[in-house]
Amino acid sequence: MAGKGICSFTAAAMHIPTLIARKREGEQLSSSEIQNLISGYTLGEVPDYQMAAFAMAVYFQGMTPAEVAALTRAMMASGDCFSHRPGHPAVVDKHSTGGIGDKVSLILAPLVACTGCWVPMVSGRGLGITGGTLDKLESIPGFNVNVSLADAAAQMDKLGVVMMGQTERFCPADKKLYALRDVTGTVPSIALITASIMSKKLAESLDRLVLDVKFGSGAFMQTKADAEALAASMIAVGQEMGVEVHAVLNPMSEPQGRAVGNSLEVIEALACLESGGPADLRKIVIDLAEKIAGVSREELERLLDDGSARSRFDQLVAAQGGNPADLPNLAKIHQAPYIREVCAGHAGTVSQVHAGFIGQAALELGAGRAKASDGVDFAVGFDQLVKVGETLEAGQTMCRIHARTLEELEMAQASVIRAVLFS
Ligand code: URA
């Protein structure tokens, strides 16, 4: 894995306040100006306060497609990139803009590796109400997500899949800028989100990428129009950089599957890898995998049903420090002190399971983090959640809550009652 080091530069050669002011007035910046700004920021020559002002100018003025591509390229080149060996198979990945109960990566990565593609999946942690793949993986005892690019290369040669976090040397400009945006009110900018997501994905040196762009109460993008704009922006950058990018828009109005919470979601992902699990989860996995794997839906279904994908997941767990024998015991390994069934008070057909309310309740149970430095509790959350369209009798289970304390359990129960509506 060769690295692309950061270009040596010279923020000094550029007058940063002028650059910020030009962006503030809506001027288009050149690629080299953007490249120099990002290099200077990565090296510490451009301070956080100037970068924050620049991010706010971008937030209000936006960027042209050429500027977004230049920003993405500069952030990608701020650290090391994957450099796959000659003759490698197709290198593919999926990125989701994040949702509630979204455990698709845990299934899709080993599944697509079974088709012969390589999947070097660099994922993130949960922040706010949306969960993160790394937290879910770490609920498997021993699972190590801190993998160097050299070890990732060796693992891909052996297994065709690695699931890891962003290292210090992988898109460091994004790491710094994302933390800054988080505290300066500049996260929800389509230009900045595009560059942040695509720089990390393109640093994987992909041939094909599928984007799962969520919209709705449990997603970053609240409306379909915003999700479409984000998808178009990410596709444009991918095309400009020679990568085949597909985007699939998916509503996130109800949670994905029936489980929300770290180990609870791994358990549900295992069910899907064993040819079961909720129908909506299996469908979205196959919808997304089909875009990048280069095989038919039937073949993907076969790989889920005949145990191939499950066996690849076991190999992945073993390669990254876990013990596959722990997987069937996750419910015992992470048993919350309080587990309660919430039952329907009357009969009816479910018309809403509000993803935002369930995500917020899972966060408050301890499954997520309010700020980046918080830890997560692997045991807590929800499972056996009802789905929209299901008909329940009075007394039938709407979900189970897994909580650390009785107070948190009561809080979560109130949220479930608010989230689930009957027609
Ligand atoms: N995920 C990222 O990696 N970056 C963003 O800006 C938003 C979501």
Cα 217 to middle of ligand 1, angstroms: 17
Query: How far is Cα 246 from Cα 321, in angstroms, rounded to an integer?
Result: 33
Report the 10 Å Cβ neighbour count for 394.
10
Write down the pLDDT at residue 225.
Answer: 96
* φ, ψ of residue 293 in degrees (nearest 5): -80, -25
CA distance readout (Å), 239 to 191, 244, 372, 379, 388:
16, 6, 32, 41, 37
Sites in the chain below the pLDDT cut of 70 = 1-12
3 state SS of 71: helix
CB 226 within 8 A of CB 188: no
Enter the DSSP assignment of 91. Answer: B
β 208-215/244-251 pair status: parallel
CB 124 within 8 A of CB 133: yes
* φ, ψ of residue 123 in degrees (nearest 5): -120, 175
Alpha helices in 183-256 (DSSP H): 190-202, 224-240
Give the distance between the most distant pair of CA atoms in the chain. 71
Tell me which residue has tokens 């993008």: 221
Query: How far is Cα 53 from Cα 50, in angstroms, rounded to an integer?
Result: 5
Report whether residue 199 contacts ligand 1, using a CB cutoff of 6 Å: no
Report whether residue 197 contacts ligand 1, using a CB cutoff of 6 Å: yes
Q: In Å, how far from its chain's centre is CA 291?
A: 18
Query: Side-chain half-sphere of 99: how many Cα atoms within 13 Å?
Result: 31
Backbone region of residue 250 per phi and psi (left: phi > 0; alpha: psi in -120 to 50; beta: other values): beta
Its pTM stands at: 0.93
Atom of ligand 1 nearest to the CA of 181: 6
As a residue count, the chain comes to: 423
Query: How far is Cα 34 from Cα 8, in angstroms, rounded to an integer?
Result: 14
Write down the pLDDT at residue 10.
Answer: 53
Closest residue by CA, ligand 1 atom 2: 197
Tokens of 270: 């295992």
Most informative mutation of 123, 170, 197 for ligand 1 (most atoms within 8 A of CB): 197
Write down the pLDDT at residue 130.
Answer: 84
H or E, element range at 280: helix 279-293
Write down the pLDDT at residue 76.
Answer: 97
- CA nearest neighbour of 128 among 253, 218, 7, 26: 218
Report whether residue 36 contacts ligand 1, using a CB cutoff of 6 Å: no
Write down the pLDDT at residue 128.
Answer: 80
CB 210 within 8 A of CB 247: yes
Cα 188 to middle of ligand 1, angstroms: 9
Enter the DSSP assignment of 29. Answer: P
Residue 391 β-bridge partners: 349
CA distance readout (Å), 328 to 268, 273, 348:
11, 12, 34
- Supply the DSSP string of 108-143, one letter for each residue: HHHHHHTTT-BEEEEE---BTTB--HHHHHHTSTT-
Report whether residue 59 contacts ligand 1, using a CB cutoff of 6 Å: no
Write down the pLDDT at residue 374.
Answer: 83
Tokens of 105: 């990566």
Residue 165 β-bridge partners: 123
Closest residue by CA, ligand 1 atom 7: 193
Beta-carbon contacts of 17 under 8 Å, excluding residues fewer than 6 positions away, are 50
Atom of ligand 1 nearest to the CA of 200: 3
* The 3-state secondary structure of 19-54, one letter per residue: HHHHHHCCCCCCHHHHHHHHHHHHHCCCCHHHHHHH
Cα 176 to middle of ligand 1, angstroms: 12
Active site residue ranges: 95, 174, 181, 196, 200
Report whether residue 281 contacts ligand 1, using a CB cutoff of 6 Å: no
Query: How far is Cα 358 from Cα 378, in angstroms, rounded to an integer?
Result: 16
Give me the sign of the Cα torsion angle 126, 130, 131, 133: negative
Q: In Å, how far from its chain's centre is CA 418?
A: 27
